């Protein structure tokens, strides 16, 4: 048993199906041992992608995704993705290679202080110094990642712990006959170090993880919540990502939300929870609704920028908040009832507590529905307007029409994906992935890989801005090599439009925001995918249909959709 085998054994026991990586000698034993044990090793083109993909698999399965990256630059390349996972409260394990224990801090290849670097960005971190520490440390890493407020964890695995003992001894060169006294001393020191390194190595065995116990609200808290909701005249329920942490319970959570009978707004991973069209799922004018509501229930939704730090909610309104994080529970605004508990579980319990809503709040619901319908009409009218090349609203509405019931959407960009977020409707729970509050461009390739792997039968649509696409376009290579036929659509407006809009308006200069209308579809073809360029509205339905067909037959597709340049003086059509 090598250290690599021990690490891989833990991955197997933890039920990890995929290991995302970009290779390096420091981690080779982990990759090979994982492969030998039936774990699918997905080698990508940038370490950030490996971490984004691990994050996506966690979000979609409720498990803990894993990435392994090599020492030094491999590890540092993941920082943005790790920070993104931390802010999105997504559990994942990052295994980092490291120089040999004996060489730490002595100027060896790819050796930096990785622990100090990661400390602020992960929930937990550890570094192993002996082979026998690998199994318990990695098991602890998994536990830390998923318990309480989930998040990313980092475990550093020095290279001399991972290879076979014989090989490491050869590397240390300790078995030759010493020729001098200093050499003898050095050998004694090295041998002692090696003996410690491998002592008790064979004694550790990977165990199955303990079953997960969700944090639940007290009976009293649930009763008070139910009573407050029953009394409300204009209640609103907001469901966010944290309610969906237990992906395996998505259907039960959806049923509970339906049963509560409240008007609902969904965000983050909760998008699509109630399907494509549900009579109480409101999609527009959330801000207006929040100003009118007399009770707002926040299920896994913090009062951060997305609610204007709590100011979207009327001053006198009763706020009920349920969150796993005591920090998020009270952030910017103290709730009237605050429950430190699992939001998904609370919704299930509450539905049981409240029983049937029996047609309550019908006038309030009608007002909201009416406004939603008016907004839909407005969007339809604006989608019909003629623009240079493709109108983004029209394109997004066509994508919505083309979408399979079994589909996952990945959003990576600015204005174009912003338009998609209110026009393309995810068909069910856990069918929409966006970066979350860190607002990270570049998640696309990794998220799409994670989605296609965990939902092989689903259509995976990657919606890209042209600017954002280039962070991860090279993952078309990964998609081709690993047989992961995604459909990417680039809303190509030849610029970083979301930034340009305000920069031009405020500063009168588009400096740094202009791109060429590049032939991204040809890049995809270079990697072995199929590329389309579309710039006439009448061609859109046909191209989308063909793309679906080609992806179904196994080839990844990229549609380069020309939106034309936005004329900022006239205002952007996508808002």
Nearest C-alpha neighbor of 27 from the set 4, 6, 48: 4
Q: Residues 493, 534, 551, 573: which binds Mg ion (CB under 5 A)?
A: 493
Output 101 or 497, the one with its CB closest to ligand TPP.
497
Closest separation between CB of residue 416 and ligand TPP, Å?
4
Kindly state whether residue 444 participates in binding Mg ion, applying the rule CB under 5 A.
no
Question: What, of ligand TPP, Mg ion, none, does residue 441 touch, CB below 5 to 8 Å by kind?
Answer: ligand TPP
Output 307 or 489, the one with its CB closest to ligand TPP.
489
- Enumerate residues 6+ apart whose C-beta is below 8 A from 266: 238, 239, 272, 273, 274, 281
Q: Rounded to the nearest 5°, which phi and psi values hold at 313?
A: -90, 135
Kindly state whether residue 24 participates in binding Mg ion, applying the rule CB under 5 A.
no
User: Contact region for Mg ion (CB under 5 A) — 131-139, 233-241, 494-502, 520-528?
Assistant: 494-502
Output 43 or 535, the one with its CB closest to Mg ion.
535
Output 197 or 500, the one with its CB closest to Mg ion.
500
Within its chain, how far is the Cα of 508 from the centroid? 35
Closest separation between CB of residue 311 and ligand TPP, Å?
23
Instruction: Give 337's DSSP letter.
Output: E
- DSSP letters, 126-141, are EE-SSGGGHHHHHHHH
Closest separation between CB of residue 567 and Mg ion, Å?
14
Partners of 487 in beta bridges: 461, 557
Closest separation between CB of residue 472 and ligand TPP, Å?
11
Dist. CA 71–CA 78, nearest whole Å: 11
Element (H, E) at 329: helix 326-330
Kindly state whether residue 63 participates in binding Mg ion, applying the rule CB under 5 A.
no
Q: Which residue has the tokens 């990229």?
A: 558
Closest separation between CB of residue 465 and ligand TPP, Å?
2
Output 302 or 467, the one with its CB closest to Mg ion.
467
Within its chain, how far is the Cα of 32 from the centroid? 26
Output 154 or 496, the one with its CB closest to ligand TPP.
496
Closest separation between CB of residue 514 and Mg ion, Å?
10
Helix (H, G, I), strand (E, B) or coil at 92: strand
Output 81 or 354, the one with its CB closest to ligand TPP.
81
Dist. CA 255–CA 408, nearest whole Å: 20
Q: Residues 5, 349, 466, 477: which binds Mg ion (CB under 5 A)?
A: 466
Partners of 412 in beta bridges: 464
Question: What, of ligand TPP, Mg ion, none, does residue 439 touch, CB below 5 to 8 Å by kind?
Answer: ligand TPP
Per CB under 6 A, residues contacting ligand TPP are 413-416, 439-442, 465-468, 491, 493, 495-499
User: Contact region for Mg ion (CB under 5 A) — 60-68, 212-220, 234-242, 459-467?
Assistant: 459-467
Question: What, of ligand TPP, Mg ion, none, does residue 440 touch, CB below 5 to 8 Å by kind?
Answer: ligand TPP
Helix (H, G, I), strand (E, B) or coil at 190: helix
Q: Residues 96, 465, 485, 531: which binds Mg ion (CB under 5 A)?
A: 465
Nearest C-alpha neighbor of 93 from the set 132, 127, 124: 124
Q: Residues 467, 529, 531, 556: which binds Mg ion (CB under 5 A)?
A: 467
Output 414 or 531, the one with its CB closest to ligand TPP.
414
Question: What, of ligand TPP, Mg ion, none, does residue 468 touch, CB below 5 to 8 Å by kind?
Answer: ligand TPP
Output 440 or 497, the one with its CB closest to Mg ion.
497
Kindly state whether residue 497 participates in binding Mg ion, applying the rule CB under 5 A.
yes
Are 353 and 224 in contact by the 8 Å Cβ rule? The answer is no
Closest separation between CB of residue 470 and ligand TPP, Å?
9
Closest separation between CB of residue 49 and ligand TPP, Å?
14
Nearest C-alpha neighbor of 244 from the set 301, 202, 316, 170: 301
Tokens of 469: 């696409």
User: Contact region for Mg ion (CB under 5 A) — 161-169, 271-279, 286-294, 463-471?
Assistant: 463-471
Output 254 or 433, the one with its CB closest to ligand TPP.
433
Question: Residue 251: is it exposed, middle or buried by C-beta count within 10 angstroms (0-12/13-18/19+)?
Answer: exposed
User: Contact region for Mg ion (CB under 5 A) — 83-91, 277-285, 309-317, 490-498?
Assistant: 490-498
Q: Rounded to the nearest 5°, which phi and psi values hold at 154?
A: -130, 130
Closest separation between CB of residue 322 and Mg ion, Å?
37
Tokens of 59: 């979000």
CA 236, 241, 243, 246: dihedral to nearest 10 degrees?
Answer: 160
Give the other-Cβ count within 10 Å of 308's Cβ: 13
Helix (H, G, I), strand (E, B) or coil at 12: helix
Output 9 or 466, the one with its CB closest to ligand TPP.
466
Tokens of 298: 């926040």
- Enumerate residues 6+ apart whose C-beta is below 8 A from 311: none
Q: Kindly list the residues in this chain that would bind Mg ion in the complex (CB under 5 A).
A: 465-467, 493, 497
């Amino acid at each position: 048993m090598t250290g690599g085998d021990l690490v891989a054994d833990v991955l197997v026991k933890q039920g990890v199906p995929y290991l995302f990586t970009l290779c390096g000698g420091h981690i080779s034993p982990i990759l090979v041992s994982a492969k030998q044990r039936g774990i699918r090793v997905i080698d990508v083109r940038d370490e950030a992608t490996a971490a984004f993909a691990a994050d996506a698999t966690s979000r979609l399965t409720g498990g803990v995704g894993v990435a392994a990256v090599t020492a030094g630059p491999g590890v540092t390349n993941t920082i943005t993705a790790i920070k993104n996972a931390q802010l999105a409260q997504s559990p994942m394990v990052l295994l980092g290679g490291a120089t040999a224990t004996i060489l730490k801090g002595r100027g060896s290849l790819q050796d930096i202080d990785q622990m100090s670097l990661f400390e602020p960005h992960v929930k937990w971190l550890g570094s192993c110094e002996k082979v026998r520490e690998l199994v318990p440390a990695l098991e602890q890493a998994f536990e830390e990642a998923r318990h309480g407020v989930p998040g990313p964890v980092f475990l550093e695995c020095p290279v001399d712990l991972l290879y076979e003992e014989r090989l490491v001894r050869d590397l240390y060169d300790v078995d030759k006959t010493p020729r001098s006294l200093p050499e003898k001393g050095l050998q004694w020191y090295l041998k002692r170090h090696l003996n410690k390194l491998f002592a008790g190595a064979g004694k550790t065995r990977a165990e199955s993880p303990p079953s997960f116990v969700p944090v639940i609200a007290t009976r009293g808290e649930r009763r008070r919540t139910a009573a407050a909701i029953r009394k409300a005249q204009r209640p609103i329920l907001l469901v966010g990502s944290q309610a969906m942490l237990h992906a395996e319970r998505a259907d039960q959570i959806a049923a509970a939300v339906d049963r509560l009978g409240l008007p609902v707004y969904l965000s983050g991973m909760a998008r699509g929870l109630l399907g494509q069209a549900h009579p109480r799922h409101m999609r527009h004018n959330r801000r207006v609704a929040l100003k009118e509501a007399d009770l707002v229930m926040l299920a896994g939704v913090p009062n951060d920028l997305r609610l204007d730090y709590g100011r979207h909610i009327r001053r006198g309104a009763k706020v009920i908040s349920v969150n796993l994080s005591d920090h998020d529970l009270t952030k910017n605004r103290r709730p009237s009832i605050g429950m430190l508990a699992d939001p998904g579980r609370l919704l299930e319990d509450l539905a049981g507590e409240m029983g049937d809503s029996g047609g309550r709040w019908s006038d309030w619901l009608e007002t909201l529905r009416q406004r939603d319908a008016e907004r839909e009409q407005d969007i339809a009218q604006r989608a019909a307007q003629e623009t240079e090349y493709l109108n983004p609203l029209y394109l997004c509405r066509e994508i919505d029409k083309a979408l399979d019931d079994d589909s996952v959407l990945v959003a990576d960009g600015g204005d174009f994906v912003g338009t998609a977020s209110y026009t393309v409707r995810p068909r069910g729970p856990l069918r929409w992935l966006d970066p979350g509050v860190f607002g990270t461009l570049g998640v696309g390739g990794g998220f799409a890989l994670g989605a296609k792997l965990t939902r092989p039968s689903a259509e995976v649509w990657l919606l890209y801005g042209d600017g954002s696409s280039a962070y991860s376009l090279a993952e078309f290579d990964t998609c081709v090599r690993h047989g992961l036929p995604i459909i990417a659509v680039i809303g190509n407006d030849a610029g970083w439009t979301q930034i340009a809009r305000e920069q031009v308006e405020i500063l009168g200069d588009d400096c740094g925001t202009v791109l060429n209308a590049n032939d991204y579809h040809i890049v995809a073809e270079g990697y072995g995918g199929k590329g389309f360029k579309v710039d006439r509205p009448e061609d859109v339905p046909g191209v989308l249909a063909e793309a679906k067909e080609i992806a179904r037959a196994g080839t990844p597709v990229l549609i380069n959709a020309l939106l034309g340049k936005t004329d900022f003086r006239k205002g952007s059509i996508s808002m």
